[in-house]
Chains A and B, each alone.
Chain A
Amino acid sequence: MELVLSNFDLYLSAFRLTIGLFLVSAVGSLLLGTLLAAMRVGPIAFMSKAATVYITVVRNTPLLIIFVFVIIGLPKLGILFRSVEELGISSFFFRACLALTLYTSTFVAEAIRSGINAVPLGQAEAARAIGLTFGGTMTQVVLPQAFRATVPPLASVFIALLKNTSVAYAFGILEATARMKYFTNISGNDLPIFLIFAAGYVVLVEIISFGANRLERRWRVAR
């Protein structure tokens, strides 16, 4: 316990790395997930099939296997992401984010799709009936409702993503879980160290779910 408190900067920097992994992959998976969801619900049968196959395969694969693929497998093909190092980003960090993004984007896509499916067909029909154009139907009626319905499932996805950043531990990234291992290795009294690191995760999870609750309440529509 004192060990962690006297080295509190190490604790903070570990969580900073966890948050960094989380934020970069969250943005990445939102972008890729929206693209996948658009392909999936779009009118073009082939794109929809392709997105479905990607989502089904990746969702059912453990995250750890995806990490092995990106971090150990891709270098076998000569894909090492050296170019990001010139930008001053560690290629390990980049590859961990890539693995997390590839995995999480499938869950984001499903959350967005379920949000769109939550809008009753009558809404769009009514909008067309009162003479709104396609663009008007989308921006005024369908998308605002779909977006709101997406908030709770997206919050779950991001909470899962935050916890999944711990998998990067197994691939040599010194985030919170790895730092906990470091402290428990050199200390005899492990339980308090575990609890203090767990508390860090609990706080971050609570922040995400609190934020999601606020948004949900703010945007709630009377149905």
Chain B
Amino acid sequence: MANSKDSIEVKRVEAAFNPVQDQDLDIYGEELRKYTIVDVDVHVDDTLQNMLPYMDGHFGKRLEAVLTADFMGEPHNSLRNMIAHVSWLGAAYDKHPRAKLATKEDLLDRMEYGIIDYSILFPSELLPIGYLPDPKWAASLASAYNEYMVDAYSNVAGVKIAIVVSPKSVEHAVIEIEKYASNSDVVTVSIPDVGVNPPLGDKKYWPIYEAAEACNLPVSLHGIEALIHDNYPLRVAHFPTLMQVHSMGFPFTSMLQVMSVVCEGVPVRYPNLKFCVMEAGITWVPFIMHRLDTAYRQYRTELPALEAQPSEYISKWYWGTHELEKLPKKGDLSKLLDLYQGHDTTMWASDWPHLERDLIAGLMYYDLDDEVRAKILGKNAIEFYGITT
């Protein structure tokens, strides 16, 4: 309630045509300065024309053809738009502040502001490569992406890179992992997990896990919200609106992949390999842990490789918070963390600059012990990615 002693400030303002960012908020004050903040899910401009200089031969020609094709006027002939967003184009009436692609300068500006200490860069445009039907085309795009990102973003203070591999091209994935293992700015192997069939626990993918474990690189699963395909976990059927596919598509896919990796015994075979899941929220994590444990009692003989209940393996996974669900009470996040033992494994993620990006305010809303907040904002990520501060 305002009282007569309050100061009054009147400021002429204009409508924002870019989404509001953390630095636009004045609610934090000095509060955040005491934390080391790692944003574990950051996206920069990786549209396909950036890949062109890195693609030779017939795949280079193929990419040229992609780049000159006309896809409904969307800019940059986006791979995502080609096979994903066109399904729901315009359905939100452009309500969302339009998310711009973040250039390197945008990223550096954001880092320079001083709230975010480290950014982990994940692919955007390359996220559908788990789905592309031609494994060699997917592998070629992945190689070009990795080269481009390492050229553009190595040796940038506070910036770390997730290389991407195509699960359709296991041999190529192993080559990529080994190629970048010694680059200290490459901190994780990202597997785009949507559209991957069979799911990621299957033995055909194990060489990827073997290489990642040997190279001491954790694996990050990152989904995408939409693909034009009918079969689960490819998602258009049963999802008539972007809201539905966006909110539930990510966790549905993640549940499938976590279940598959754990139940197929990957954590037993590769005990030193760390996994995390990006962009699927966290409220479903206790659900899958306890649901699988309940079934495990009856069906354990189907999973003879496991040496413990599924929840014991899942409790060692790490989780990017985006899109952090807003629970009704300020104490609810603490209860949720208890349910999945997530104090040491939950990592703040924004998904910047995408339009659904989380602001730190979403986490600060919750009542948490200061030490737990510090872990989620940065310490857990430093541990997971092996960042030397």
Q: Do A and B bind each other?
A: no
Residues of B whose CB lies within 8 Å of any CB of A are none
Residues of A whose CB lies within 8 Å of any CB of B are none
